[in-house]
Amino acid sequence: MNGLFQNDIRKEIKEMASRNNKIVIEGAEIFFKNFSGKKDNFNPEGKRSFCVYVDDISDKLRADGWNVKMSKPRDEDTEARPFLRVNVKFGDYPPNIFMVTEHNKVQLDEISVSNLDNAYILNADVIISPYHWEMNGKSGITAYLDTLYATIEEDPFAGKYADIGKRLDDDLPF
């Protein structure tokens, strides 16, 4: 695919997402990954989520009602950064989540998505959907994952064994 065509697709995706008030982040920095929904100090059992930095768009998101939080600096050399907690919910409209390697792209489901918890993600392209809520006189926007392409670091043997399944399928007589 040539670069011009890819840029047209990116522009079209961003325009479509902005019409639906979705957030599109290419090269997203994601952290506090809990795709498995494991219970911890900050998360009840079964609640899947991750966080993403929103540096350049945080003021607009806050003005629109998104729940933008600030990270705590790790040391005196780092600054606090704005981020969103993004919920990952499977149900009637599950998110499209793909794990990408140099040799493969695999769509993940409700069970296999937990593999991302321990994966080293080299690049993440994310589309986040808003959910507008009102309760007891308060309102806001909760972030939900719409689409994620997570390019992960492969182990040194991944390339060596990448086509074994394909070769076995070719040898089957049925």
The 10s digit of each residue's pLDDT in 105-152 is 999 999 999 999 999 999 999 999 999 888 898 888 999 999 999 999
Residue with tokens 């309102």: 139
Return d(Cα 152, Cα 102) in angstroms, integer.
Answer: 9
**Which candidate, 61, 49, 144, 156, places its Cα nearest to that of 102?**
156
Alpha helices in 20-174 (DSSP H): 58-64, 164-171
Return d(Cα 159, Cα 154) in angstroms, integer.
Answer: 8
- Note the CATH number of domain 20-171: 2.40.50
Q: What is the pLDDT of residues 8-59, one digit of tens each?
A: 545 444 444 444 689 999 999 999 999 999 998 888 888 999 999 999 999 9
| pLDDT at residue 90, rounded to an integer | 94
Q: Give domain limits for the chain.
A: 20-171
| pLDDT at residue 159, rounded to an integer | 73
Report whether 56 contacts 83 (CB < 8 A).
no
Radius of gyration from C-alpha coordinates of the chain: 19
Q: What is the pLDDT of residues 143-174, one digit of tens each?
A: 999 999 999 998 888 777 776 665 545 555 55
Task: Report the percentage of the chain scoring pLDDT > 90.
Answer: 56
Looking at residue 96, the DSSP 8-state letter turns out to be E
Is the pLDDT at 1 greater than 60, yes or no?
Answer: no
**Which candidate, 107, 109, 91, places its Cα nearest to that of 36?**
109
Return d(Cα 105, Cα 41) in angstroms, integer.
Answer: 33
- Model pTM? 0.79
| pLDDT at residue 164, rounded to an integer | 66
Q: What is the pLDDT of residues 68-96, one digit of tens each?
A: 999 998 888 889 999 999 999 998 899 99
Amino acid at 50: F
Return d(Cα 44, Cα 35) in angstroms, integer.
Answer: 13
